Structure 1
Amino acid sequence: MRIAVCDDERELAEDICARIKKIDRVCRVFCYTEGISLLQDGCFDLVFLDIGMEPINGMEVAKRLREINQKVLIVFITALKEYVFDSFEVGAFWYLLKPVSEDKLKDVLFRAKKQWEQQNGSGERQIFIQTKSKNYVLSVNDILYLENQKRKILIHTKEELITFNAVMSKVEESLGEGFYRCHRGYLVNLAYVAEYDGETIRLANKETIYLAKNKYQDFVMTYMRYLRNGGVTFV
């Protein structure tokens, strides 16, 4: 899930971003201090918007976001209660008053993620891959893990190995949640993790990839959250 936070008070925007990352370590969070940059950077699934921004206020940014993406979930963050009814004109998902409490933020994130999953649950996620010899429309669910070899990316799928030129960080951003950068050379699909220790991850197909030592704790927290969100019961 791609989330943007936009507030012209930089400290407040960065604080909200940091808190979202702590609540949900799988999502991708982007921080902005003005609406123009947000609109230029593309499509998001969930956007937290301050209303009283300049030169373009949050209400106008929301209207333009709606033109780009009808499905985007918009949450207004403001100290001004009088804008509550105006927010309905742009189909706002929620409205948060400053200062935003931790419980309120968690609740809105939970509700937004559920809504987003309902909107996107019926369609299978796919990515387009272009190689020297062939073009692919690949189901994300078929990817076991990705391997970085200099400027080349190796996609290990259930059926084949696909090699193409790309930067791993860009691919990681495109794939979004459900994948974890466990090592500078590997990006793993969490759906295929079978077991792990402090140095390696063993996949469902019996392959083993590296887990960086400095990533271990973050990986465990991310993986546990991934399992809970998927309905796994811990005993």
Structure 2
Amino acid sequence: MYEIAICDDIQQICEEVYKLVSEELLKRDIDVRIYTYTSGQSLLSAGIIFDILFLDIELERENGLEIAREYPYKKEMRIIFLTSHIEEMPNGYKVRAFRFLTKPIEPAHFEEALFAAIRDIEQDKRFTVTDEEGEHIIRSSEIFYLESQQRSTGVRTRERFARLPLSIEEMKKELDMTQFYCPHKSYIVNMDFIRTIDKGVVILKNDEKIKISRLKMKDFKEKFYDYLRSRANGF
């Protein structure tokens, strides 16, 4: 069962999104529990780990971006922002926005965003990694990059650098390679964590740099910018 929350200070919008979610998932016989909130504070007080959150950016007397930043379980959620101001999009990515939908909401765009989030949840595989502190469970969405090592693969997340008992080639089969890319034979990077591409290197959001193979430069740039467009195609 999916846990989905809707937070908008306009009750009519909450009801509209509630109806869209219900109808789309009912057609596909998908179980869901839906919660609605008309303020950011009521959402924060819920303390629930939602799978998907539809969140208005321009809440009355509140900023939806700040609410998302404060939410304790934001790493576990796919946040789809609702907005009338497309200029807010760059700020949304700072809190790991999954999609943006403009108001008034287009049903076709809504359907795409909803099922993209569900597919992303289903593809977010879990792996057991090891470091000096012992074993840890990580999700594929937490991985910044993977690095080929002798008989194993190094894994960088925000919290640690650990190891997996699988090769880079084996990891390619495990990961969603529309989200990950190999800029070099020894690395796989998560495009969600790329800050920019500059002078033949990928600069990640943790400031680490990974060299891009000269032969892959053109293809990598195309794949990366296509990926960014796909993440923003709620517009």
TM (norm. structure 1) is 0.49
TM (norm. structure 2) is 0.49
